Each structure stands twice: as structure tokens, then as C-alpha cells.
Chains A and B, each alone.
Chain A
């Protein structure tokens, strides 16, 4: 049957173009791949090639015509054995051709597909019969060891994780127990080993990627975001990526700008990732176990200063901390302090100072940054009507900014004072000890912010 040739779209933005020149005349034989015409698009002059074989039956748009809309019939091709008599048939039915119209449902008002915050029960912490005193470092190691015993597909890779026993001794003993097939020292090659781990996860294994610090994960962030976080969506749900990216995040001590950044808001920004930030040893163990079992990519933001601190950890083989649930570390009545990681300890110190002034502060340890436990924050603010957010990272587009926005959306009528963000100073981390102290939030600074939202002196 004779075939209509339509004005092609030759760039993503082209809606019309100029038919600059015909390279075939009516009656010419055409093979697929032959250049039929030259088309001027909004970007360049392009050659239009024939797809089908046959004879150019009729040219419907003359050379030199400008403003030819995409999909306008510009010529008719006759197939082998057809004659000019067949032209008429096609031209009769050559109505306007249709292309699908993109749905435009307007901008999405719901920024995040979050569950509504009202009336949902707030997470209740489980009590255990027995607790052991453990450092965060030991808790992380135990979490990995227990999950590696439970699942053959779980393995750990990173710089110095095996023979050296971990740059911060987090993976101590794992090489001895699991061998070098499952505890793997990598070259210093973050982008390479992060990508390699993503490939192993695509194949069904469950890699734990240790970044010596999260600062170095910037070398690999393309694989964390573009390869790990987006693939499930891009594959229409076909290709999961069960992987954990973990390592110390934020400021340690006296290591200056390139080794002291808090990446919480960077990772928490991205759909397709889960992001957790443990404070206590129980958080660390419970959250890392949940992260390893989770079928999605999870970023675990640890903290070097916390590695050596000891906490009570439930002595129960089934203990885990669910992702997405905050913990009220200290109940209070007058003001909510919401924070994560090392700043939980700093905020608890602030709460103790405030108590002396008769201000009862409720301290919320977020534990998960994506998804964030809106219900717990909202329930607390409905009680206290005041909130301060605390983080090591920068204020601009930080976790505190997100908290402030959530308060506007969920607690506008419950707030008695504007939200205050207590953050790291808006500069790269300085090296000098006195300047470094000025950079980070302090108990005094947090207490001042709490007094301010309470309108207290």
C-alpha cells in the first residue's frame, strides 16, 4: 500500500520546520536509508532518510516551504507494483494525523507523598528484659555480623574494612569470621566500588558499602543517586537495588573543611533512598540491621565522635529499630527540640540546662531522615506549641528547613512562636580549635534558642 511520508520532528523541541530541499524527485526509486530531503529544524539542518523502499510517488510540500508543522504529509511513497492510481486512495484518507497529547494535571501540590499526619498513632518504643552496655562501634559491628550470619548474600566492602579491621575499627573481627569472600578490602576507588556494589545488588546480592567517611561518598554520589536510588523507578518496578551505604558523617575533631561535612540534607533530598542517622548504640544496631534487611538503597549516616560512646543495647536477637520512626529521648512540656545523630546528646545537655530555668524540653531523636516521622514531631508540637531544630549541617536547604516547612504545613495553628533552626555556621569547617568550637551548635546555643521560642529570658 502507498505510504504517506510525514514531516518529521528531528529534535526534542521541534514543532515545525523548513523543507529546505528534496534530494529525490517524483518517480525516483528509493531504498531504505536513502536521503529524501533536507529539513531545517530549530537547531540545525538535518537529513531525512527513507524508512521504506519504493518509488517517490508524489511530493506534497515543495522545497523551500517554511513553517511546515510536524506530522504534515509531505510526500507519498509507492511500493513495488503500485502505480499513480494508488496515490488517490492515500490522499483521500490523509486527514490530520494525531499525536498523543501530554497530560497536564498541573503542578503537584503535594510535595511528598506522605501519609497524613493527623490521628496516626505515634510510635511506641518497645521495652526489653535485658540490656547490655556497648559502644556504637561494637553495636555496628554486631549488626553486620548478625545479618551476615542470617543471609549469605550480605557482604561488606570498602577501604581497610578487612585486614586493617576498619579505619575506625568498626569491622573488627569480621574478616576472621566471614573470610575474604565476604569482607573485602577495596582499592581507594569510591566511584568504582560504589558502582560495583550497585551491580552486585542488581544481581541480587546485598552489599554493605563502607565509605571511610561520607565526605568521600561525594566521589561516588552518581552511583548512590543515579544508579541506586532511581533504577527501581526507571525500570517500572522491575529492578531493585538492595544496598547499604554507610560511614561516619559530619564533623569529627580538627580535621577541617573537607573531612567534616554533614550530608544529611543532600541524601535526604532524593526520592528512592532511605536515610537514617543513629545516635545511640541501640539506634546504630537496630537501624543498621533494618537497613541491611531493607529491599531498597539505604544511606546510614554514622558519626565518628559517637563510635566510642557507650549506651544500653537490648539483649534480644530480634531487636531492630524500624526505619521511619523517631524516638522521644526526653519527654517535656514547654518546647520541642528535634534533632539527629550526635546533636541528640548536645540537645539533651541543653534540655538539662533548661530544666534549671523551669523550662521542660522534649527532645526528639529523628533516627530516620527519609522517611521522616512527621507524626511524632506533630504530636509533640501540639503539646508544646514550640519547636527548635538542631543539626551540625548548614541551615540553607538543610534538615531544619524541611522541619520548618513541615511545621507550616501540619502545625500552623498550633505554633506559638516561629521555628528556630540551630545549625552549623554557614562557612567551611575551620581547623583552629577555637573557631571549630564556634562552628558547631552548643548546649548553650540550643538552650538560648529554646528560651527564645518560649519568650523566656
Chain B
């Protein structure tokens, strides 16, 4: 993935290939997550599993603006980020089922996967902890001069952690190349932003440190892409960090065992029917005559095949050997 929608063009000119690539990448995340939900239901995935359904435009738009050496780090709602970074769907799904073929050999699970090759640095289970770590990845980009920017994803809930502001302070003080992407899906687990945040303009939370911020329609992949280009350019040029508040929405509960009683059914239905990032883009493509039903079906089949293959691999890959219990604790010096 990511290859289809990754375009280096920094202009706002959006071509047909770009739009179609975005559609396909978002669709793959959606289908992957639906399949993960299904495997969870079958008892093949255990523990915590936080689905990205509804938020696809955020990471797909960000990654299509990413540079070659950029790094990515996020919290526990991480499957979308991994796929958008180009990680293999089979390895991600097999990690969810706790099998040896998973990215962490089955020892990390949904919240703990890494790919140094794709510069994806996790997958972190402690809310907010990824923010200083990502700021440190930005520090390393500056230290080595590799021109990279770290994309640090955090939720609206994580934004209330003290270490976020410690990070903002250091990133601004040392002009570190970091873009903080706040995925504001309106709920910190079950607590709505009105109930957890003093002041709802979350993009202004860096103002005291002089960090520019903007609110972005996170349900529009193009809006995300255009904002990402601005933010990444700012950070890459040595101007320090940038904050993007993506106004997005998750359709499913916080995790698999969340019945989401803290919001109305009408609210969810309205978002799905009127603001779904995938449907919106599909309609736009159809209206502009850029795709026809046959091409959509073809893409659908292609994505389904990838997801089915991942699900099969995730079930056929063996559980880790019992000897794996004792490995990877320390590197032998």
C-alpha cells in the first residue's frame, strides 16, 4: 500500500491517479479493520483491539504528503498507520492473531508493532507516551540531518497528558522537525471533548510555545493532504513543529468491548451517511467521471483479496514457539 497514493508533488494540483489512489488506500484500511473486527468476534484476536474505521482519511492524506525519510509514530489505534506506511497486511493481521508471522512474532499484539524499514516506530499502549518519543525521532532527524520530519499522531484524549506540553516546549525551543497530528475523534474513550477539554480549539494548544496550528476537516482526504503539505513544509524547512487538528470520527467503540452508549445512534449514523471519507470520495470520482462502477468493483475485489489473504495467513501462521518466551528481552552485547 501507500505506493498507489504516494505522490511527491507538493502543488495543490490533485490528479485523477491521486484521487483514485486515496480511495483505494482508504478502502483497504476500512476492509482490513472490518476483517479484524470479524476475527476478534471469532475469538482469533484477543485482548485490546482499537479499530480505525471512520478515520481513514487522516493517515492516508498525511502519508501521501510524506517525504522519503519521514518517520511515523502513533498510539494504540495503529492499524491504519501501519498499512498506510506500507507495512504488509499479512504481518499486521498475523500480529493481531498472536502468530509467529506477525510483525512482532506475536509478542506485541495490536498495540505494539514496529517496522524500522518503513520508519514506523509503533504502536504505543500508554496514552501520550508516543508524543515525547516522536519528538525524539524529530530530534534524531535534526541530529543526523536526514531531512526527515516525524509525524506524531495523538488523540484528543492524549492531548491532556502533561508530557505532550513538555514535548511541545522542547520541540519549539529546539525547532525540531515534528508535525503533531491530533486525531480529534471527539471522544477520549467514552468522555466527549466537551467534558474533557477546557477549550475546544485543540489546534491552539501549542500557541503558548509559538507552534502554529490549524483545524482540518479530517473526513476529507484532500483537505488533510493539503494541510499536511503545509505543515510538513514548515517543519522540514527548519521552522520547528506544527500542529494539525484533524476533525475526524470513529464509527466503532473505543475498543472492541465498548458499546459506545455515550453517544447517540443518530450522531453515528449522520457521520456515516453524510461525512464518510470513502463514500464522499467515491461519489466525487463517479460524478467527475474519473471512475465507473466496473473500476470500483475491480478495486473492491483487489482490496478484498489482499485482506482475505492477510486473514488466511493470520490463521495459518503458527503460534510462536514456546522458546520465544525467553528471546528478545536483551540484545546480546
Contact = CB atoms under 8 A, between A and B. Distances in A.
A and B associate: yes
Interface of A: 6-12, 14, 32-33, 41, 43-49, 51, 70-71, 97, 99-100, 103, 105, 113, 155, 181, 186-187, 189, 191-205, 222-223, 226-227, 231-240, 271-272, 274, 293-296, 323
Interface residues of B, number: 72
A417 B121 CA distance: 52
B43 A71 contact: yes
Given A103-B319, A293-B333, 8 more contacts: A6-B41, A12-B46, A44-B259, A155-B143, A195-B167, A200-B139, A234-B122, A235-B108
List the 6 shortest-distance A-B pairs measured between CB atoms, nearest first. A199-B136, A8-B41, A195-B132, A192-B166, A203-B140, A236-B105
Given A8-B42, A71-B43, A99-B42, A202 B136 contact: yes
Given A199-B135, A272-B329, A239 B322 contact: no
A376 B24 CA distance: 62
Nearest to B168: A192
Contacts of B256: 10-12
- Interface SS of A by simple majority: loop
Interface in B304-319: 319
B44 interface: yes
Interface stretch (B31-39, B78-86, B179-187): B31-39
A234 B104 contact: yes
Contact of B163 (A14, A99, A192): A192
B145 to A, nearest CB: 11
Nearest to A11: B257
A51 B308 CA distance: 12
A187 B329 contact: no
Given A97-B42, A232-B329, A234-B112, A186 B136 contact: no
Tell which of A12, A33, A233, A236 has the most Cβ of chain B within 10 Å.
A236
B115 interface: yes
Given A12-B47, A49-B37, A205-B143, A274 B114 contact: no
Interface string B112-143: 11111000011111100101111111111101
Contacts of B328: 232-233, 235-237
Contacts of B166: 187, 189, 191-193, 195
A193 B170 contact: yes
Contacts of A293: 333
A178 to B, nearest CB: 13
B330 interface: yes
A220 to B, nearest CB: 9
Contacts of A9: 40-43
A223 B37 contact: no
Contact of B132 (A11, A191, A271, A296): A191
Contacts of A202: 121, 133, 136-137, 140
A224 B162 CA distance: 17
A51 B167 contact: no
A236 B108 contact: yes
Nearest to A271: B329
Nearest to B95: A236
B102 A203 contact: no
B286 to A, nearest CB: 17
A235 B169 contact: no
B167 A235 contact: no
Contacts of B116: 238-239
B316 to A, nearest CB: 11
Contacts of A192: 132, 135, 163, 166-167, 169-170
A100 B114 contact: no
Contacts of B261: 44
B121 A199 contact: yes
A195 B129 contact: yes
B137 A199 contact: yes
B272 interface: yes
Contacts of B124: 227
A242 B135 CA distance: 17
27 contacts: A6-B42, A32-B34, A46-B253, A49-B37, A99-B42, A113-B329, A181-B143, A192-B132, A192-B166, A193-B170, A195-B131, A195-B132, A195-B166, A196-B135, A202-B136, A204-B140, A205-B143, A222-B126, A232-B328, A232-B330, A235-B122, A236-B104, A236-B107, A238-B114, A239-B122, A272-B329, A296-B331
